[in-house]
Amino acid sequence: MNQNIKVAVDAVVFGYNDNELKVVLIQQKFGTSHNFWALPGGLVQENETLIDAVKRELKEETNLTVNYLEQLYTFGDDLKRDSRNRVISIAYFALIDPTGLEIKADTDAENVHWFSIKEIPNLAFDHNKIINLAFARLKSKLSYQPIGFDLLPKYFLFSELENLYCSILEKEIDRRNFRKKILSFGIIEETSKVSHQKSGRPAKLFVFNQEKYNQLNKEGFHFEIKFA
């Protein structure tokens, strides 16, 4: 059997700032989709794992290093998803706080930019489909895993956590009940640090206790956020 199938990885990197969910995209420098925006990614090398491949591509094409990285789906049913070759792509999604991070295009990327999830352009290949699936996965997981903290700075205002849930899930929440629910879990702690906002009174900053969450998780803790 003569098989000539390429294996690639693509990454949907979500960032959150200015009360808005964003995705980092690259503008391709070469190939049939030259000048099209696309997800960072590329072919897996012979001597590397899938996770190493996606981390390498992210570093090379965007200058980003991510902590939260999860395999999303395998895309390959469309035999012509890439006009150059038969390419099967293993897609990942990542969460990151983009504050203070420098994104930089390199290797086969002409440009790199953060796009609002509401303003994603027509992308190369089937990358719009990949982003849509990743966004649906993110919204679903927000209700049963505390992954939203990966999108926030280490020290955050409670209002920032509330706004994150509202903007990503596109729903209004009962802020009093939300605060009561989150605090009842015992996985975030109020610190002595204060945020000096442009308007209003100074407010205390909170921090997510990852160790406490991991310990509770081992004991059968169930994280759940429901909206009416």
Residue in 26, 63, 57, 31 with CA at minimum distance from that of residue 42: 57
pLDDT, the chain, mean = 89
pLDDT for the residue 31? 58
pLDDT surpasses 70 at 197: no
Query: Is it the case that residue 205 has pLDDT exceeding 90?
Result: yes
DSSP assignment letter at 169: H
> Above 60 in pLDDT, residue 32?
no
- Cite the residue boundaries of each domain of the chain with CATH code 1.10.10.10: 144-218
For CA atoms 137, 97, 123, 127, give the dihedral sign. negative
> How many residues belong to the chain?
228
Those residues with Cβ within 8 angstroms of residue 120's Cβ, 6 or more apart along the chain or in another chain: 23, 25, 128, 131
Helix (H) / strand (E) element for 71: namely: strand 68-75
Q: What is the pLDDT of residues 54-106, one digit of tens each?
A: 999 999 999 999 988 999 999 876 666 666 777 889 999 999 999 889 999 87
pLDDT exceeds cutoff 90 at 28: no
**Alpha helices, DSSP H only, in 118-191?**
127-142, 158-169, 175-185
Every domain range in the chain assigned CATH 3.90.79.10: 5-141
Domain 5-141 matching CATH 3.90.79.10: the answer reads yes
Give the pLDDT score at 196: 74
**Given this model, what pLDDT does residue 57 score?**
94
For 180-195, what is each residue's pLDDT tens digit?
999 999 999 999 999 8
Quick one: average pLDDT of 133-147? 95
Q: Between these two residues, 80 and 44, which has the higher pLDDT value? A: 44
**Which residues, other chains included, contact 9 with Cβ-Cβ below 8 Å and sequence gap of 6+?**
41, 42, 44, 50, 53, 54, 57, 89, 90, 91, 92
CATH level 2 (architecture), domain 144-218: Orthogonal Bundle (1.10)
Higher-pLDDT residue of 48 and 3 is: 48
